Amino acid sequence: MLCLGIESSCDETALALVQDGRLVDAVLSSQAETHALFGGVVPELASREHYRYLGALFDELMHRSGTSTQAIDYIAVARGPGLLGSLLVGVAFAKGLALGLGKPLLGINHLHAHLFAIGLEHPLRLPAIGLLVSGGHTNIYRLEKPWQCHQLGRTLDDAAGEAFDKVGKILGLEYPGGKIMDALARCGRADTVPFPHPYLDNDNLDFSFSGLKTAAATYITDHLHNLTWPRPLRNVQDAPKQLCDCCASFNLAIVETLCCKVQRALANNPDIHTLILAGGVASNTLLRERITRLMEQYGGTAMLPSPQLCTDNAAMVAYLGWLLGENGYAHGLEMEAIPRGRAIPEDMLCCTA
């Protein structure tokens, strides 16, 4: 069966085709350069860009893959969380196709799509603990089935990626800062600045990174203000040692905090021996190393998607849509886009139940 996936929740316009659990083809238009001018995503610009490119990208995908629209069995679209205007563009497009072609519509939780994306590269092992670390979310889940994901913890304020991006902005690094801070961290010493490992003195699985962000901002103002480096910094070789050390120490504080809560989740769920890492921050070099080591010590398996599958993409939407479609799930045309901050309802119908 063939599933079309549509992703437009933030600043990537993307479509993909997944057939029987395998990626057929994908197209993507990134708005990163547009938003980099403003140091963050501008919602109105984002929805206009989706509106401008979605139709042309769909035509390109169909043409390039030699697929006729009638061959599509399911139409999956990221329904939230995300920017409302951006989501609406994708959801309206998906509804139009579903109505026109008479095919089932699946409104996909963008966060769940990140978590199950690994299934495109390796056989899914469930149940699993899922750690989703992106620009907008830092959540821990118990994943039973593609349609049964229990959230165990979440961030109370900034997400891990958001903390990277905000500190990156203070350092004058190009937005989003996570990737370059990872590269700078690899050139520095992580034991230089004793940044706090936040919100560990409790027994829950929630996160709070805003205090760490403030500690980094204070350190930068107090200790790095006399340093100069090319802005924007394009080459890590041009970075002074103190900048690399600061990034390495900040990176370590985030990674160790994430790993500590993962260990706690595994201890609370002793029947689980698989950890799925997902989201943009899942590309982080140290996080991948530490999670791999942690799972080796635990005698379990770490499932790490390749970097292109970590960031926003439509293959993950098509894949989860395919999994749900094959198991008889579908939405009616009344399915709504759900912006960030509103819970996504469990309103998907299962025809085989």
Residues 310-339 vs ligand KG4: string with x where CB under 6 A? -xx---------------------------
- Give the range of 22-30, 131-139, 149-157, 342-350 binding ligand KG4 by CB under 6 A: 131-139
Cα 281 from Cα 265, distance rounded (Å): 19
Phi and psi of 30, rounded to 5°? -95, 140
Which one-letter amino acid corresponds to residue 252?
Answer: L
Locate 246 and state its tokens: 């600061």
**CB within 8 Å of 260: residues ≥ 6 apart:** 197, 200
- Give the range of 37-45, 133-141, 209-217, 327-335 binding Zn ion by CB under 5 A: 133-141
Residue 74 three-state SS: strand
Residue 7: CB minimum distance to ligand KG4, A = 10
Cα 303 from Cα 215, distance rounded (Å): 32
In this chain, which of 104, 255, 312, 314 binds Zn ion, going by CB under 5 A?
312
Nearer to ligand KG4, 62 or 287 (CB): 287
DSSP secondary structure string for all residues of 121-134 = TS---SSEEEEEE-
Locate 304 and state its tokens: 């790490």
Instruction: Tell me: does residue 116 bind ligand KG4 (CB under 6 A).
Output: no
Instruction: Tell me: does residue 162 bind Zn ion (CB under 5 A).
Output: no
- Which letter does DSSP use for residue 205 in this model? S
Nearer to ligand KG4, 98 or 291 (CB): 291
- Give the range of 44-52, 116-124, 130-138, 321-329 binding Zn ion by CB under 5 A: 130-138
Residue 68: CB minimum distance to ligand KG4, A = 31
CB 150 within 8 A of CB 133: no
Nearer to ligand KG4, 2 or 6 (CB): 6
Instruction: Tell me: does residue 284 bind ligand KG4 (CB under 6 A).
Output: yes
Interactions with Zn ion, residue window 224-263 (CB under 5 A): none
CB 320 within 8 A of CB 76: yes
In this chain, which of 85, 119, 136, 146 binds ligand KG4, going by CB under 6 A?
136
Instruction: Tell me: does residue 134 bind Zn ion (CB under 5 A).
Output: yes
H-helix or E-strand spanning residue 266: helix 241-268
Q: At what angle do helices 210-223 and 241-268 cross, to 10 degrees?
A: 160
Binding site for ligand KG4 (CB under 6 A): 10, 134-136, 161, 164-165, 176-179, 182, 279-281, 283-284, 311-312
